[in-house]
Structure 1
Amino acid sequence: MMIKKVLLGICLGLAYASAQELTLEKKIGQMLMVGFHGTQAPEESQICRDIQQYHVGAVILFDYNPVDKQKPKNIASKAQLAKLTQSLQACSADGKLLIAVDQEGGNVQRLKSRYGFYGQFPKASDVRNMDQREITEVYTKMGRELRSVGINYDLAPVVDLDINSQNHVIHGLGRSFGKEPRMVAQYAATFIDAMHGNGVLTSLKHFPGHGSSVGDTHKGFVDVTNLWKEAELEPYRLLKDKADSVMVAHVFNKRIDENYPASLSYKTITKLLRWKLGYHGVVITDDLQMGAISQKYGLKDTLKLAIHAGNDLLLIGNQLDPQKTVSTQKLVETIAALVESGEVKEEHIDKAYKRIQALKKKL
């Protein structure tokens, strides 16, 4: 009997160790939102194998293919996209893979008319000329279209304030609902409600404010220290209990953190967004391959700082530079090594994992 108990104890111990190992890997995988090339995701595809093996939590889809401009990257038609998202979900263990796109309206809409979608959703600056009923109709239609092809996560709405007429990425593209924080929050709330009505999650962006910037973080370092206004935080405070997630920009603001851009800043994410503004949901980085980050930080330091700062979802779009795509295996192994060396606390991974699971429960 004693021998049996000892053997049972050893078996349980091995199973426990194995589960622990799997749990860390699974928790890390759940923190990743990755971009990939392909309009299909059969079981033997790399993306499907990654979702299965590493328990990838989220993917991001693009229509524009930076490798071959003649071919689509992920989106070619309604029927194709619906089949792709169905295949991706079938690869996931929980059937709750977060499948994301940037669908704001105006210049930023991945579901274009040339692929058979509506494709005519207005930009935010035009939405403010509509009445409440029209706005609700517009965003309900958008949510319905996303849901019809299996997209459950829209990286929108933009709540940046339109306070700098020299700003090309927000003002220039009409991506802001206006200058007044309460009005911006009101439009954003209508957007969120319409998405929720169709089972689509959302993300406020770009914390702590991109409306005052002059440069473009896609291309390189952007310092908003002198132009940024505290009012840019107000939409986040007003929507903190409604927001599913908050996307953090790569802007540098010396008044908040004198060392790091927002997306890698503990002072910005944990101290300001979570502690001061009282937001406790999922935080997602903007694409960590954007110039503002990739030109200054290597992959290991980027991941270490992003996790320590308090981000839950780490976005690696594999979209901006075909020469610099990063495999899911490399991402998982790099983070696991950082945990093992003590450079990243496992407690940060645990907190992120729990927040992501809470977000998925909304689906």
Structure 2
Amino acid sequence: MPKSLVLRFLAPLLVLAASGGVHAQSLEEMAGQMIVVGFEGDSVDDRSVAALREEIAQGHVGGVMYLKPNVASLAGVEAMNAAFRAASPDLPPFITLDQEGGAVERLTQAVGFTEIPDAATVAARSSVAEAEALYADLAQRLAALGFNVNFGPVADLDLNPDNQIIARYGRAFAADPQTVIAYDQTFIRAHEAAGMLTALKHFPGHGSSTADSHEGFVDITDTWQESELEPYRALIAEGYDEFVMIAHLYHARYSGGVEGLPSSLTPRWIDGVLRGELGFTGVVISDDLEMGAIRKHFTLEETVTRAVRAGMDVLLFSNTSDPRASLADEIRGVLVAEAEADPAFAARIAESYQRIVALKDRIR
């Protein structure tokens, strides 16, 4: 379909997107806001960081993801984050990291950042009130460095003691849904008080799995339990509408008949269960789309188009499997090309853009 016809089709949606005070200049800008990428460099003076800052300024990237190699010093992190924010003050980038505590931390004692225990230890040793104070201190310190999204809390249930990615690192608060809900609430409230956004993860539930999606295919057909939805059900019912992070987990009865199709690429999980059954109205973000469960089975084009059609709003790429400065351009190119060929896909991009802009209004 000619680009002019696609844009004419999108015109009413662009008006809606502009109603919040931020006007979408192009399909490319809307697509760019759906992309959060990892990057090389650990200093504001690095060429790779300067290039990423320019991509943010042009609206080609909606956010950045920190990993440990990006952290040489706290002063360096603060300077990079200030530069990222200054690049797009009207539509600020999501500046994200995983700072759960325990083994899953990007900022560590090695650079002078006070670490906290993992979730299992917090729940075992601290009351809910004590946990909220702990997370409030963490969130305030993250916000002071310029971060605005912490990928947590973990909403998984600790159902499999041999689990390689949740139980092994003490990432779940408990096996009991009510305990998980209570401690998730403290994490969320503490971050909201500091002006930070959070992300419930790993939907639809990684705690019962018997493999690690970082490494490859994970089949939860025979292990997943309905109770793993309870933290999401309760928190969404209370009004939670920030991020939900979708894991790369295969369940035969939720795959739409496509063998090996993971939850991150499956409409049945995202539009069906998360939005339809549980009523989630916020932003849906993928777990890293370069994990083995994805990159070993799907091309970049397949990953991007399937994820968006499934209902994904934000595509998270760590940019670690084949690091390159062009990755965001490649992702955006896939999004725009598909939108120009398919009005329904273009409408999905516009819907995601509206949700993203509404959430970014909270971090200005």
Looking at structure 1, the residues matched to 198 and 221 of structure 2 have their Cα atoms a distance apart, in angstroms, of 28
Please say if 1:157 is aligned against 2:153. Answer: yes
Match of 2:65 among 60, 71, 74: 60
Looking at structure 2, the residues matched to 115 and 29 of structure 1 have their Cα atoms a distance apart, in angstroms, of 32
Please say if 1:48 is aligned against 2:53. Answer: yes
Q: Is the 8 A contact 2:219 2:251 kept in 1?
A: yes
The residue number in structure 2 matching 1:67 is none
Looking at structure 1, the residues matched to 181 and 169 of structure 2 have their Cα atoms a distance apart, in angstroms, of 19
Amino acid at match of 2:290: Q
Question: Which sections of structure 2, spanning at least 5 residues, go unmatched?
Answer: 1-7, 15-22
**Matches for 1:313-352 after TM superposition, within 5 Å:** 313-319=314-320, 321-322=321-322, 327-342=327-342, 345-352=345-352
What SS does the corresponding residue of 2:254 show, helix, strand or coil?
Answer: coil
The residue number in structure 1 matching 2:32 is 29
Q: Is the 8 A contact 1:33 1:60 kept in 2?
A: yes
Looking at structure 2, the residues matched to 133 and 237 of structure 1 have their Cα atoms a distance apart, in angstroms, of 23
The residue number in structure 1 matching 2:72 is 76
What SS does the corresponding residue of 1:159 show, helix, strand or coil?
Answer: coil
**Change beyond 3 A, Cα 1:343–1:330:** farther
What SS does the corresponding residue of 1:87 show, helix, strand or coil?
Answer: helix
Instruction: State the structure with more CA Rg.
Output: 1
Deviation at 1:54, TM superposition (A): 3.4
Please say if 1:189 is aligned against 2:185. Answer: yes
Which structure has more relative contact order (CA 8 Å, sep 6+)? It is 2
Q: Is the 8 A contact 1:125 1:175 kept in 2?
A: yes
Looking at structure 2, the residues matched to 218 and 135 of structure 1 have their Cα atoms a distance apart, in angstroms, of 29
Aligned CA RMSD, in angstroms, stands at 2.0
Worse-matched range after superposition: 48-57 or 346-355:
48-57
Structure (1 or 2) with the greater helix fraction: 2
Deviation at 1:22, TM superposition (A): 3.7
What SS does the corresponding residue of 2:70 show, helix, strand or coil?
Answer: coil
Deviation at 1:23, TM superposition (A): 2.0
The residue number in structure 2 matching 1:127 is 122
The residue number in structure 1 matching 2:243 is 245
Looking at structure 2, the residues matched to 304 and 326 of structure 1 have their Cα atoms a distance apart, in angstroms, of 18
Looking at structure 1, the residues matched to 88 and 46 of structure 2 have their Cα atoms a distance apart, in angstroms, of 11
Looking at structure 2, the residues matched to 185 and 300 of structure 1 have their Cα atoms a distance apart, in angstroms, of 36
**Matches for 1:68-107 after TM superposition, within 5 Å:** 73-94=69-90, 96-107=92-103
The residue number in structure 1 matching 2:296 is 295
Looking at structure 2, the residues matched to 344 and 107 of structure 1 have their Cα atoms a distance apart, in angstroms, of 42
**Matches for 1:178-257 after TM superposition, within 5 Å:** 178-240=174-236, 241-257=239-255
Question: Which sections of structure 1, spanning at least 5 residues, go unmatched?
Answer: 1-12, 64-72
Looking at structure 1, the residues matched to 24 and 334 of structure 2 have their Cα atoms a distance apart, in angstroms, of 15
Deviation at 1:46, TM superposition (A): 1.5
TM-score by length of 2: 0.88
TM-score by length of 1: 0.88
**Change beyond 3 A, Cα 1:76–1:95:** farther
**Change beyond 3 A, Cα 1:324–1:293:** farther
Deviation at 1:145, TM superposition (A): 1.1
Looking at structure 2, the residues matched to 345 and 249 of structure 1 have their Cα atoms a distance apart, in angstroms, of 22
What SS does the corresponding residue of 1:227 show, helix, strand or coil?
Answer: coil
How many equivalent pairs are there? 336
**Change beyond 3 A, Cα 1:303–1:102:** same
